[in-house]
Amino acid sequence: MKDLSQLDVKGRRVLVRVDLNVPLDGDVITDDGRIRASLPTIRDLAGRGAKVVACAHLGRPKGSPNPKYSLAPVARRLGELLGADVAFASDVVGESARGVVEGLQDGQVALLENLRFEPGEESKDDAQRAEFARKLADLAELYVGDGFGAVHRKHASVYDVPGLLPHAAGGLITTEVDVLRRLTEDPARPYAVVLGGAKVSDKLGVIANLLTKVDRLIVGGGMAYTFLKAQGFEVGRSLLQEDQLDKVRGFLQEAAERGVELVLPVDVLAATHFAEDAEYEVVDATAIPADREGLDIGPRTRELFAAKLADAKTVFWNGPMGVFEFEEFSGGTRAVAEALIGSEAFTVVGGGDSAAAVRRLGLPEDGFSHISTGGGASLEYLEGKTLPGLAALEA
């Protein structure tokens, strides 16, 4: 796919699809990591004299305007980070958008309102999506795709618009793709993958594909209890996906057949209930009391996981080891993160909750080789799927 350097942007209107889907508390941004990740491409274009028209989604407003999901706070934060005013359009392709874009001077930046306020953005109807894409494309002369967190979606702004304008990939997407190729095509070994988070079902495809590539699969978080149950152990009131037990038993068998080392928790913090101040005790992972639920991996597991990561040359991590939002149950996630920071391996944090945990726990982002901005997109790439947004940029 073409990169930014191959576009002549001076004096031209460039529509840039970025990922600004940040968490909000009211109109306060609680984590601006995705905004900061978009800055290099926006700065590059503005610095070369483009009239930059940024577009993005926020949340799930379901095809109609909703003040709760307005990008206005994001426009303010983007302007602060750029050190320059960002013109904000109060609609997506309407009168405000056209006026804002027409008023741009070379090197200036505008942001359109939430793309998902328009039903055509996410429509499954090709004609409706194409009609909205044409309206978006009419605002610009060139297109740059840089919203990696959305490239696994067949949405108008990532899939249809590139077919209507000369296009290129932004720096964030080219970096993400380079990193993911390094994880899939010829990783340095031993290659370890750490998976956590709540549900096995969210990661079925990636587990199936990774079992053919990795040397060691380390499983923590809520999904670990389904693995433990599949081995015949009781897990009390811990998170459990009964309907995935047969699938997980298949993974256990395949891992054994392929010689993949599958590492599960040996102890957990078993709490009386799901709460930040819940009482808990450290118990063996094979002996979780019936009236307790595991909310984090225990101290022996933290040491075990760190030891299993110590000799790795490549590590991909996606998903927290426990309820990291609760201080008492954040230790497992911190332990894995610190093991990676202390490692000499090529370490990739697979976006989503893992990236949020790194920032929430105050850990140095530069302690990892790469922190992805797209959890779902990263996982689908590692599953071996074709991502619509990347296919469109390659066309």
pLDDT in tens, 311-356: 999 999 999 999 999 999 999 999 999 999 999 999 999 877 888 8
Q: Could you confirm whether 376 is annotated as catalytic?
A: yes
Find out whether 203 is annotated in a ligand binding site. yes
- Which of 143, 176, 209 is the C-terminal boundary of a domain? 176
Considering the domain boundaries, does residue 392 fall inside one?
no
Strand (E) or helix (H) holding 301? helix 299-309
Q: Could you confirm whether 34 is annotated as catalytic?
A: yes
Q: State the catalytic residue, choosing from 12, 43, 134, 199.
A: 199
- Which of 176, 198, 226 is the C-terminal boundary of a domain? 176
pLDDT for res 118: 98
Residues 292, 345, single domain; the answer is yes
Q: State the catalytic residue, choosing from 13, 17, 34, 334.
A: 34
**Nearest Cα to Cα of residue 321 among 313, 312, 332:** 332
Q: State the catalytic residue, choosing from 205, 376, 384, 385.
A: 376
Strand (E) or helix (H) holding 347? strand 346-349
Residues 12, 143, single domain; the answer is yes
- What is the C-alpha to C-alpha distance for residues 268 and 227, in angstroms, rounded to an integer? 14
Q: List, for the chain, all residue ranges whose pLDDT scores fall below the cut of 70.
A: none
Considering the domain boundaries, does residue 235 fall inside one?
yes
Find out whether 96 is annotated in a ligand binding site. no
Find out whether 352 is annotated in a ligand binding site. yes
- Which of 117, 150, 176 is the C-terminal boundary of a domain? 176
| pLDDT tens, position by position, 107-154 | 999 999 999 999 999 999 999 999 999 999 999 999 999 999 999 999
Q: Which two tokens stand for residue 44?
A: 């590059």
pLDDT for res 369: 96
Find out whether 249 is annotated in a ligand binding site. no
Containing structural domain, residue 278: 187-383
Find out whether 19 is annotated in a ligand binding site. yes
Considering the domain boundaries, does residue 247 fall inside one?
yes
Identify the sign of the CA torsion 209, 211, 213, 218: positive
Grouping H, G, I as helix, E, B as strand and the rest as coil, residue 113 is coil
pLDDT for res 374: 82
Strand (E) or helix (H) holding 346? strand 346-349
Percent of the chain with pLDDT over 70: 100
CATH number reported for the structural domain that contains residue 307 in this entry: 3.40.50.1260
Find out whether 76 is annotated in a ligand binding site. no
CA end-to-end span of the chain = 8
Residues 171, 47, single domain; the answer is yes
- Phi and psi at 173, nearest 5°, equal -65, -45
pTM of the full predicted structure?
0.89
Q: Could you confirm whether 199 is annotated as catalytic?
A: yes
pLDDT for res 33: 87
Q: Which two tokens stand for residue 190?
A: 């031993």
Q: Which two tokens stand for residue 125?
A: 């109807």
**Nearest Cα to Cα of residue 390 among 170, 96, 76, 97:** 170
Find out whether 327 is annotated in a ligand binding site. no
| Packing angle of the helix pair 331-341, 299-309 (nearest 10 deg) | 20
Q: Could you confirm whether 385 is annotated as catalytic?
A: no
pLDDT for res 373: 83
| pLDDT tens, position by position, 4-27 | 999 999 999 999 999 999 999 999
- What is the C-alpha to C-alpha distance for residues 76 and 31, in angstroms, rounded to an integer? 14
Q: State the catalytic residue, choosing from 33, 171, 322, 352.
A: 352
- What is the C-alpha to C-alpha distance for residues 205 and 337, in angstroms, rounded to an integer? 24
Which phi-psi region, left, alpha or beta, contains residue 63 (left: φ > 0; alpha: ψ -120 to 50)? Answer: left
77-102 core/surface letters (b: 16 or more CB in 10 A; e: else): bbbebbeeebbbbbbbbeebbeebbe
